[in-house]
């Protein structure tokens, strides 16, 4: 009977460690030791009701072990973490200069439909809202979309 309890405690301990050394290996070994504890229990001559109660109690202990590990990790997260201390914003995509909306400029490349234009002294990536625009044409900025400005050829 002592080996049943030892294997059960070993499986619970390995389950707890799995939360800190996440590889899946410890969880697999914990499952094997848990099954071995049930096998020892059956070999010791215990009946179906005793084995069933053992499984229920041990599953409750496993759930408690998981909750304990999660609570412990959550409590130690502030002082024991591998994340940076500063707030991080994550990936920020490029954005177009929206102050150029409504301004006029000259294309530096052919726009078929994308290319570059000079608008108020800034070389910016632009996309034509209509047909092909040749280099050196006057354009007006309609709006910004992502990292580029949408332009149209000036009339006249």
Domain of 149, CATH number, reads 2.40.50.140
- Contacts of range 65-68, beta carbons closer than 8 Å, 24 or more positions apart: 65/12, 65/15, 65/16, 66/15, 66/19, 68/16
Domain that holds residue 113: 98-153
Q: How far apart are the first and last CA of the chain?
A: 97
Those residues with Cβ within 8 angstroms of residue 50's Cβ, 6 or more apart along the chain or in another chain: 41
Which tokens sit at 118? 């000079």
Model-level pTM greater than 0.85? no
In a domain, 81, yes or no: no
Residue 86 scores a pLDDT above 70: no
Residue 131: band (very low, low, confident or very high) from pLDDT cuts 50, 70, 90: confident
**Within-domain flag for 136:** yes
The total number of structural domains in the chain stands at: 2
Residue 89 lies in a domain: no
Q: What is the pLDDT of residues 20-71, one digit of tens each?
A: 887 889 889 999 999 999 999 999 888 899 999 999 999 999 999 999 988 8
In a domain, 92, yes or no: no
Q: CA-CA distance, 135 to 9, in Å (whole number)?
A: 77
Confidence bin at 110 (pLDDT 50/70/90): very high
| 44 contact partners, CB below 8 Å, separation of at least 6 | 1, 4
Identify the DSSP state of 24.
Answer: S
Q: Is residue 51 included in any domain, yes or no?
A: yes
59 and 117, same domain (yes or no): no
**Whether 71 and 104 share a structural domain:** no
* Whether residue 19 sits in one domain with residue 62: yes
Of 44, 76, 108, the last residue of a domain is: 76
The answer to whether residue 81 scores a pLDDT higher than 60 is no
Q: What is the mean pLDDT of residues 87-104?
A: 80
d(CA 16, CA 94): 44
Question: Residues 65, 9: one domain?
Answer: yes
């Amino acid at each position: 009977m002592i080996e049943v309890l030892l294997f059960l405690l070993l499986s619970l301990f390995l389950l707890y460690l799995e939360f800190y050394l996440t590889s899946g290996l410890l969880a697999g070994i914990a499952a094997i030791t848990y099954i071995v504890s049930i096998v020892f229990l059956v070999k010791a001559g215990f009946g179906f009701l005793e084995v069933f109660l053992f499984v229920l109690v041990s599953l409750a202990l496993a759930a408690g072990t998981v909750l304990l590990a999660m609570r412990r990790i959550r409590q130690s997260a502030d002082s024991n973490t591998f994340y940076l201390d500063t707030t991080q914003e994550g990936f920020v995509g490029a954005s177009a200069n929206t102050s150029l909306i409504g301004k006029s400029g000259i294309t530096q490349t052919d726009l078929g439909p994308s290319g570059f234009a000079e608008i108020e002294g800034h070389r910016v990536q632009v996309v034509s809202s209509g047909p092909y625009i040749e280099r050196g044409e006057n354009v007006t900025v309609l709006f910004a979309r992502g990292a580029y400005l949408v332009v149209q050829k000036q009339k006249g």
